[in-house]
Structure 1
Amino acid sequence: MGETVVVRYRTHEDAAAENRRLIEAVFAQLRRERPAGLGYTAMQVDGTEFVHLATTTGDPVLPDVEAFGRFQRDLGARLADGPTRRTATVLGEYRPVGAAVPVAVAFVEAFGKRDLATVTALLHDEVVFESPRTRVTGAAAVAAAIGEFAEVVTGIDVVAAFGDDESAVVCHDMHTGPFGTLRTVDHVTVRGGRVAADTVVFDTAQVGR
């Protein structure tokens, strides 16, 4: 499972908020870039105590993350105690599915069932929908566009779905009357439990573009 390192320290009380801001910036960059070979968790135990757990399966990753460099730059000035660094053995790990995944799957399955009431309920007011054939914005316009295409859909079989709390990718076989089965991928962005963006990819040759 690689090497896991646990780092623990306390900041000065007036530096805790800045320390947390810098840590959040690290996670923002990691979510954007998704570097391989790294598992990383950071916790604020109380007002001033912080614990970091980093697991690497190869060469160190965090030193190459720009936001992590900014976090480390003035860390010494923020510290009241520590840091202590210890190597740990991970005995097991459980991660629930990202919150965006069930929303995206429910959205795609509702489309496959022509359940436009559920589709509409899951749309964010400012949703953006994009496919090889169209780009539409706004809940009403997107619901209408999806409803029009749903008329030729006879069902959907979800093949795989994965993602995090903000976005998900759903791979599925979309069965249609006139075009047969289309292997399709939806990249869905979720905001506040509703679909804020949906980018659909499929083979346009099968539908005559």
Structure 2
Amino acid sequence: MKTSIVRYRTHPQHAEENAALVGEVFRALAQARPAGLHYEALRAPDGVSFIHVVSVDETLPVHPLTSLPAFQAFVAGIRTRCAEPPAPLESMLLGRYAG
């Protein structure tokens, strides 16, 4: 699995819109239920900073997150919503526990 972490900060007036768009992505994922994907989105206590953690099976022919129309709608206006643009960080998963 390939894991990426993306951090960004929205303009205060766009934080709720951003959170709503993230919610739409999760509703689409709940319907599609794609295999080979682990996805988390977090909102920091400041209300304007967001962190997304994505792990995807690299052998899949189509990326199950970025191919979703709801995700495409989310990223379409991300630069306008952001005070600090998305900064992806490639990482390697060392372990995961789900209890």
Q: Say whether the fold is shared (TM-score over 0.5).
A: yes
Match of 1:38 in 2: 37
Gaps of 5+ in 2: none
Residue 25 of structure 1: aligned partner = 24
Identity within the alignment, %? 36
Task: In structure 1, list runs of 5 or more residues that go unmatched.
Answer: 97-209
2:5 corresponding residue in structure 1: 6
TM-score computed with the length of structure 1 as normaliser: 0.44
CA RMSD of aligned residues (A): 1.0
Compare CA radii of gyration and give the structure with the larger one.
1
Q: Distance in 2 between matches of 1:6 and 1:53?
A: 5
1:32-69 CA deviation, whole Å, 9 max, x = no partner?
11011111000001310000010011242212111101
Cross-structure match for 1:65: 68
Determine which structure has greater relative contact order: mean sequence separation of CA pairs < 8 Å that are 6+ residues apart, divided by chain length. Answer: 2
Residue-by-residue CA offset, 1:61-93 (whole Å, 9 max, x unaligned): 212111101101111100000211111121211
**AA matched with 2:29:** L
Structure 1 segments (4+ residues) deviating >2 Å: none
Where does 1:1-209 land on structure 2 (aligned, <5 Å)? 2-46=1-45, 47-58=47-58, 59=60, 60-96=63-99
Query: For the residues of structure 1 that align with 2:41 and 2:72, how far apart are their CA atoms?
Result: 15
Counterparts of 1:69 and 1:22 in 2: how far apart (Å)?
10
* TM-score, L = length of structure 2: 0.90
Structure 1 or 2: larger strand share?
1
